Structure 1
Amino acid sequence: MNRTIPRLMLIFLGVFAILSVGVVVYQVGWVIPGKRCAEAKKWWDPDERVCATPVLISDITGRTIQDKQAEAEARAAIGRPAPAAPLARPAQ
């Protein structure tokens, strides 16, 4: 009997097993964390596999957004609630 057919069968089975493991590693290592990060409204970097929190430019520069509607939309886009109103100090 020709030994080529069983040998080819084992080669194809090995290649299939290696590719299947590769797909599982890709899903668990990159796709699933990327989806979780996107659901949390954060930024996913697939090269470094890092889920980073977006930062408003106004947080970096210290300049406030004057238009309250624009500020609310910017905070909603990054998944951060509006800041709480400052507590009023009691009169003395």
Structure 2
Amino acid sequence: MNPTIERLKLIFLAVFAVLVVGVIVWTVGWALPQKKCESQRKWWDPGQRVCAQPVLISDITGRTIQDKQAEAEARAAIGRPAAPAPKQP
């Protein structure tokens, strides 16, 4: 067979193999962790590949959300259950 055809065949096979490995690495390293993170209702940072737990501002500042509907919506948006009722002394 023509040596040029053999060389081109090997080049195309090598490029194909590199692309397949690249797709597998991307899928295992970025796509699957992102999908898992987002299914847990967390934040995915693709640059650092970090799955972070969202935090309500009220948790940081200590100030409570006065509107109970807004608080319930905020907690639902980050995947937390509703706040427990305050204890009566």
- Compute the TM-score of the two structures, normalised by the length of structure 1: 0.91
- In structure 1, the gaps of 5 or more residues are none
Counterparts of 1:3 and 1:35, CA distance in 2: 46
How far residue 33 of structure 1 moved from its aligned partner, in angstroms, is 0.6
Task: Name the TM-score, length of structure 2 as normaliser.
Answer: 0.94
User: Partner residue of 2:58?
Assistant: 58
Q: Deviations over 1:42-68 (max 9, x none)?
A: 000111111000000111111110000
Give the drift of 1:84.
1.8
SS for the counterpart of 2:51 is strand
Paired positions, count: 89
Aligned to 1:7: 7
Q: Mark the structure with the bigger radius of gyration.
A: 1
* Structure 2 unaligned blocks of 5 or more: none
Partner of 1:48: 48
> How large is the Cα RMSD of the aligned pairs?
1.1
